[in-house]
Amino acid sequence: MDIAITGSTGLIGQALTTSLRAAGHHVIPVVRSASSPGTIRWDPGAGTIDAASLEGVDAVVHLAGEGIASGRWTDAQRDRIRTSRERGTQVLATALAGLDAPPSVLVSGSAIGYYGDRGDDVLAEGSGPGGDFLAGVCLAWEGATAPAEAAGIRTVHLRTGIVLDAHGGALAKQLPAFKLGLGAKAGSGRQWMSWITLHDEVRAIRFALEEASLSGALNLTAPNPVTNASFTDAVGDALHRPTFLTIPAFVRKAPLGIGGLVESLLLVSQRCEPAALLTAGFTFDHEDLATALASVLGRR
């Protein structure tokens, strides 16, 4: 297949690109910089994209967006986080809808932040949205694909959980502290964390590209979420390091946007299940956290 990918230089985008190319697919990065051979130029901020170069592609994977944890959640940063997702998706979806030969499928990024802070509730794809900042971002993000859906393009929203990889993402940022014996649970530690290995994330995206029965929301999380306390202990066990510290919950009230960032990434509870993936026949290579960490950390 000819597959165009936005966000191809990110953690997930790089791994997906490598996997698709190894399987013989032709990957076409959609990039902001000056076009080089084999790429498609776009500027989501300016609302422009080289739509002609999208003619005839078989599929599009849209992963671009301002990093959630790339800075303090000031008002300006919140605006960048939301706008980069909503506007970029609108630009892409509108361009795809206007093609003479549109792709058969658009697989577009989203996140389990859609559900907000839900305690012990089990969250399948049919569960309603939360009411916090990230839930609003995800609602706008998913809603921006409407032009593509209206044009008859099968559209999948990837509600991705915490992606585990030793070289990027949240786990990689935590590993130095854990290796020093400074791994800590957040607050009470009772909040649920829904995770997926980068390996299974890529496999699930490829499954979504190929499985014609899938459309709409898709939880990309392993079948066995864990509490924050259990996650902390599991990482400590995998590294043979103690984990007796606690990040106090009062940091949610910290100034300059730090509180909202910490609360949304560490203190909210999202107990997700990948119901749609499992129903469609997808099997995870890493279903439990201990096995996942052994693989991710190279300690099989």
What confidence tens digit (pLDDT) does each residue in 132-180 have?
999 999 999 999 999 999 999 999 999 999 999 999 988 998 999 999 9
Nearest Cα residue to 142 out of 162, 124, 156: 156
- Please give the pLDDT value at position 35: 63
Contact 169, 163 (CB under 8 A): yes
- Please give the pLDDT value at position 250: 58
What confidence tens digit (pLDDT) does each residue in 112-121 have?
999 999 999 9
Structure tokens at 184: 């800590």
How many residues are there in the chain?
Answer: 300
The predicted model scores a pTM of 0.94
CA atoms within 13 A on the CB side of 7: 23
Specify the number of domains making up the chain: 1
Range of the domain at 44: 2-296
- Please give the pLDDT value at position 259: 44
- Please give the pLDDT value at position 102: 97
Contact 149, 104 (CB under 8 A): no
Contact 38, 3 (CB under 8 A): no
Can you say whether the dihedral through the CA atoms of 49, 50, 55, 58 is positive or negative?
Answer: negative
Contact 300, 294 (CB under 8 A): yes
User: In terms of DSSP bridges, do strands 48-49 and 40-43 run parallel, antiparallel, or are they unpaired?
Assistant: antiparallel
- Distance, in Å, from the CA atom of 11 to the CA atom of 61, rounded to the nearest integer, reads 14
For residue 209, give the CATH number of its domain.
3.40.50.720
- Please give the pLDDT value at position 70: 67
Per-block mean pLDDT, blocks of 10 residues, the chain (300 long): 96 97 97 83 94 97 85 83 93 98 98 96 98 95 98 98 94 93 93 98 98 98 98 96 84 48 73 98 97 87
- Distance, in Å, from the CA atom of 201 to the CA atom of 196, rounded to the nearest integer, reads 6
| Close Cβ partners of 89 (under 8 Å, ≥ 6 residues apart) | 62, 108, 141, 144, 145
| Residue listed under structure tokens 């590993």 | 175
